[in-house]
A = this chain, B = another copy of it.
Amino acid sequence: MLAEEGYANTSLRKVATRAGYTTGAVTYYFANKDELITALAESRFDSFDAMLEGSHDDTDVKALFGRWLARTDDPEFWPVMIQLLAHARYEPAFAAVIERRYARFRELYTSILAAGQAHGTVRDDIPADLLADQLSAIGDGWMMMFPIEPDRFTPSRLRALVDAAVTLISPPRRAPRERGS
């Protein structure tokens, strides 16, 4: 519902009906709308965690991005996240959940990138935590535009974007060009 109708148009009533229950049944399990939304957010982050778990001892940044992009398989995943993130600011308890979860992601990214720097597969002229922030921002930026312009995100364009991102964080190649020589 969040993905299809947006937060503002998502009502307990509609959620209940869609689930084949009455409104009362929903409020029986979730004290209020906040709790319902927060539960949804936690569940989404859980599934996201599970995805990352696989790449835990991985230093392959490209594979990581690939998994992130694989989310576009489910055309609802990103739109849902956008609705949740956009609303977070106005539900402090909910914002706390997001802060906590996001912090974990950035830590993970940072450690992966730091490992990459140690192995020489990631450029080391920028601190790992800054690189993690940039990659995280790139992912969020894509996520934000995807619901608005899904057509721009063709598989080939996505591949090109991933390749470009990987190039950005790779160490400079040996002899880039005979510039000025």
Residues of chain A whose beta carbon lies under 8 Å from any beta carbon of chain B: 5-9, 79, 82-83, 85-90, 95, 98-99, 102, 120, 124-127, 130-131, 133-134, 136-142, 144-145, 147-149, 160-161, 164-165, 167-169, 171-179
Contact = CB atoms under 8 A, between A and B. Distances in A.
How many copies of this kind of chain does the complex include? 4
Contacts of A6: 86-87, 89-90
A148 B160 CA distance: 30
Contacts of A102: 145, 148-149
Contact of A171 (B90, B126, B147, B179): B179
Given A99-B149, A130-B164, A171-B176, A9 B144 contact: no
A130 B160 contact: yes
Secondary structure type dominating chain A contacts: helix
Contacts of A88: 147-148
Contacts of A168: 126, 134, 168-169
A172 B164 contact: no
A6 B86 CA distance: 8
A167 B8 contact: no
B130 A141 contact: no
Nearest to A85: B144
Given A6-B87, A7-B8, A171-B175, A137 B147 contact: no
Which 4 residue pairs are nearest across A and B when measured between Cβ atoms?
A137-B141, A172-B172, A86-B86, A140-B141
Question: Which one of A9, A127, A169, A174 has the greatest number of beta carbons of chain B within 10 Å?
Answer: A174
A30 to B, nearest CB: 16
Contacts of A175: 171-176
